[in-house]
């Protein structure tokens, strides 16, 4: 079956976070939004079919996650990521962000240090601050084209006493897909300094040609024992609204600690639609995913070429994975608030300021490109047309 990713679907009518609250977020309904990491595409047919069938049943009482739910995860990890996991390692959760919060509460004490690698998905730092833990920053290095990890600094930070690190792989917002060598080095240092690894791999399936996602826990048994891998079909299959995720926790003690904490919090029910959508996505969604990846690669090329030819002052940091574009706008010579004003008020496109992802996100903007090409073309044209106007007015 050939899927149509060019199709425009009205998302304003369904209270979507991305499209439904533009005045609240950007001050105008005229803004074209590219700020939430979800897709404007319809889901794969088998997913839509099962959800429609389930809805037609008309009864929406409590549900449980079936054997098929867990088996589909085991199979997906084996086939897609070459990682053999056991069914009992899987702990079902309702979203990755809540998971990060209760992992912190379960496995660290107030005042413990947790390390992140900015620029990085902003709920990482929020969850650490909200739980009164101490944040340590291992800033990523940028050579003008791609990001890398500063291992010397990482070791220095670890040597000061770090309980846990939040790894983001593939990385939001830089689009980096960490190599085996990167992961081995991180893992070795975590073993040496007794650091727990919380690896957010929610973007694991969105990886482009020439790159390969490797779950850090699959590298060695020693690393596996100290790792909790956070996954979901949310990004891959555009079902984030079903709030259905899972943790992979091979170590018995870590797993029991997390499970006990979940009990204390009273988390025992699951989204009944998610219970059906996840196994169908993993068992029948691969064909759709292949076509999606091809479409997304074309979008990357489109953005890259457009900017290079028409607005060379803005450069796309070419993503190795994720459908998140990280725009290097430093040559525009604007402050972060001028950048925001330029994109939102002049160009009328809704992007996220890079500053949200850390101090070293300054001068960058984040654009989500999982949408029909016509929307991207419209957004980039708005930026182009406003650029001259903005330069003349000089704010
Ligand atoms: C790295 C990362 N983790 C987690 C999430 C959100 O996960 P959830 O919706 O399951 O809380 C996102 C969403 O953008 C993300 O990019």
State in Å: Cα 310 to ligand 1 middle: 33
Q: 126: part of which helix (H) or strand (E)?
A: helix 123-130
Q: Is 36 close to ligand 1, i.e. is its CB under 6 Å away?
A: no
Q: Is 234 close to ligand 1, i.e. is its CB under 6 Å away?
A: yes
Could you give all domains of the chain from N- to C-terminal order, each with its CATH number? 12-44+286-393 (3.90.1150.10), 48-284 (3.40.640.10)
Q: Which atom belonging to ligand 1 lies closest to the Cα atom of 171?
A: 1
Q: Is 247 close to ligand 1, i.e. is its CB under 6 Å away?
A: no
Q: Which atom belonging to ligand 1 lies closest to the Cα atom of 121?
A: 1
- Using CA atoms, how far apart are residues 19 and 32, in angstroms rounded to an integer? 8
Ligand 1, atom 9: nearest CA belongs to which residue? Answer: 95
Q: Give per-residue pLDDT as tens, 117-156.
A: 999 999 999 999 999 999 999 999 999 999 999 999 999 9
State in Å: Cα 122 to ligand 1 middle: 10
> pTM above the 0.85 mark?
yes
- Residue 131 burial (10 A CB sphere; 0-12, 13-18, 19+): middle
Cβ neighbour number for residue 226 with a 10 Å cutoff: 20
User: pLDDT 10s per residue in the chain (395 long)?
Assistant: 799 999 999 998 888 999 999 999 999 999 999 999 999 999 999 999 999 999 999 999 999 999 999 999 999 999 999 999 999 999 999 999 999 999 999 999 999 999 999 999 999 999 999 999 999 999 999 999 999 999 999 999 999 999 999 999 999 999 999 999 999 999 999 999 999 999 999 999 999 999 999 999 999 999 999 999 999 999 999 999 999 999 999 999 999 999 999 999 988 889 999 999 999 999 999 999 999 999 999 999 999 999 999 999 999 999 999 999 999 999 999 999 999 999 999 999 999 999 999 999 999 999 999 999 999 999 999 999 998 777 766 54
State in Å: Cα 385 to ligand 1 middle: 33
């Amino acid at each position: 079956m050939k899927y149509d990713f060019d199709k425009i679907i009205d998302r304003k009518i369904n209270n979507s976070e991305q499209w439904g609250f533009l005045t609240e977020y950007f001050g105008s309904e005229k803004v074209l939004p590219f700020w939430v990491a979800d897709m404007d595409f319809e889901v794969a047919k088998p997913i839509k079919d099962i959800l429609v069938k389930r809805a037609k049943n008309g009864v929406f009482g409590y549900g449980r996650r079936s054997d098929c739910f867990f088996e589909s995860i085991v199979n997906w990890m084996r086939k897609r990521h070459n990682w053999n996991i056991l069914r009992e390692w899987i702990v079902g959760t309702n979203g990755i962000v809540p998971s990060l919060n209760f992992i912190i509460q379960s496995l660290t004490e107030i005042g413990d240090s947790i390390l992140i690698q900015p620029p990085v998905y902003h709920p990482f730092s929020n969850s650490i601050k909200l739980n009164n833990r101490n944040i340590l920053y291992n800033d990523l290095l940028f050579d003008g084209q791609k990001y890398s990890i500063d291992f010397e600094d990482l070791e220095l930070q670890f040597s000061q006493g770090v309980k846990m690190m939040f790894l983001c792989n593939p990385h939001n917002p830089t689009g980096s897909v960490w190599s085996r060598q990167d992961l081995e080095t991180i893992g070795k240092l975590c073993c040496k300094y007794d650091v727990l690894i919380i690896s957010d791999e929610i973007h694991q399936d969105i990886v482009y040609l020439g790159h390969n996602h490797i779950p850090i826990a699959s590298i060695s048994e020693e690393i596996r024992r100290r790792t909790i891998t956070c996954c979901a079909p949310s990004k891959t299959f555009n079902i984030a609204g079903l709030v259905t995720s899972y943790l992979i926790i091979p170590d018995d003690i870590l797993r029991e600690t997390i499970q006990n904490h979940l009990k204390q919090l009273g988390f025992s029910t699951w989204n009944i639609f998610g219970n059906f959508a996840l196994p169908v996505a993993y068992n029948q969604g691969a064909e759709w995913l292949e076509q999606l990846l091809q479409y997304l690669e074309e979008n990357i090329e489109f953005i890259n070429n457009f900017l290079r030819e028409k607005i060379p002052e803005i450069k796309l940091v070419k993503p190795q994975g994720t459908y998140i574009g990280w725009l290097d706008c430093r040559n525009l010579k604007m402050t972060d608030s001028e950048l925001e004003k330029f994109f939102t008020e002049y160009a009328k496109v809704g992007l996220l300021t890079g500053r949200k992802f850390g101090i070293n996100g300054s001068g960058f903007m984040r654009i989500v490109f999982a949408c029909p090409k016509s929307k991207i073309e419209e957004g980039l044209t708005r930026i182009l047309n406003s650029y001259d106007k903005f330069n003349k007015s000089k704010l």
